[in-house]
Amino acid sequence: MRKKIIAGNWKMNIKPSETAALIKAVAEATKDYSNVEIVCCTPAIDVPAAVEAAKGTAVGVGTENCHWKESGAYTGEISTGMIVDAGCKYVITGHSERRQYFGETDETVNLRTRAAIAAGLTCMMCIGETLEEREAGKLVEVIERQMNVGLKDVTAADCAKLVIAYEPVWAIGTGKTATPDQAQEVHALIRATLAKLVGAETAETVRIQYGGSMKPGNAAELLAKKDIDGGLIGGAALKAADFAGIIAAAAAAN
């Protein structure tokens, strides 16, 4: 039984002074859903306020990126040791916006993912195809490459700290959602690819989130699918009521 995991990705949207109110509102609105793992991934500068506000609640805090080196001359980056020290338990790696705007590659996603797992963080590694890749019939090739390279040297034991987020790039922030059947088809492919990498038994235990314009109105039908174990939520994570609506759908789907 895979516990559903719903994680918000705040991106560059919430200021430190706005953070405590949003975390507290999320915690209050979701306090009855103990069968769902609830996470807010915030800008690094919001983390102290988020961790403080989340104390004594079921909301876990994470960051939106991490570097693979422990320390050094990497201006603008944050290490996994810093993230753990700040009180986070989660991190996102390989988000499509980092791939698109910040030169992230499958190889650097692999380095960040391995560093996150080694530090004891639960790592939500994002993969997903662009519209051009889908229309060119390259969906399977892209997903397999992102999985094979992104998870190079990740062991079956490491998978206890791994979550895969399937985020079709064409559905992120666009209002276009993959249909539940389209999403399930790719989630099944991801699990089958994972089985080849770490064994079928381990692959069955790894949670695979869907991300891409998930909202209260479409969450239930997506989360009802066999291989959809949660969501990575952008826009709808910025309003506690919307985020809680998705978590309620996950609780009912469990």
Just list the catalytic residues.
95, 167
Answer for the pair 80, 118: CB distance below 8 angstroms, yes or no: yes
By CB under 6 A, name the one of 64, 167, 229, 242 that touches ligand PEP: 167
Q: Which is nearer to ligand PEP, 23 or 237 (CB)?
A: 237
Answer for the pair 164, 208: CB distance below 8 angstroms, yes or no: yes
Q: Which is nearer to ligand PEP, 203 or 214 (CB)?
A: 214
Q: Which is nearer to ligand PEP, 173 or 199 (CB)?
A: 173
Q: For tokens 């989340």, what's the residue? A: 54
Residue 211 Cβ vs ligand PEP, minimum distance, rounded to whole Å: 3
What distance in Å separates the CA atoms of residue 213 and residue 40, rounded to the nearest whole number? 16
Q: How many Cβ atoms are within 10 Å of 201's Cβ, its own excluded?
A: 9
Q: Is 163 in the site for ligand PEP (CB under 6 A)?
A: no
By CB under 6 A, name the one of 115, 164, 214, 248 that touches ligand PEP: 214
Residue 166 Cβ vs ligand PEP, minimum distance, rounded to whole Å: 10
What distance in Å separates the CA atoms of residue 91 and residue 80, rounded to the nearest whole number? 9
What distance in Å separates the CA atoms of residue 208 and residue 18, rounded to the nearest whole number? 30
Would you tell me which residues interact with ligand PEP (CB under 6 A)?
9, 167, 172-173, 211-214, 232-236
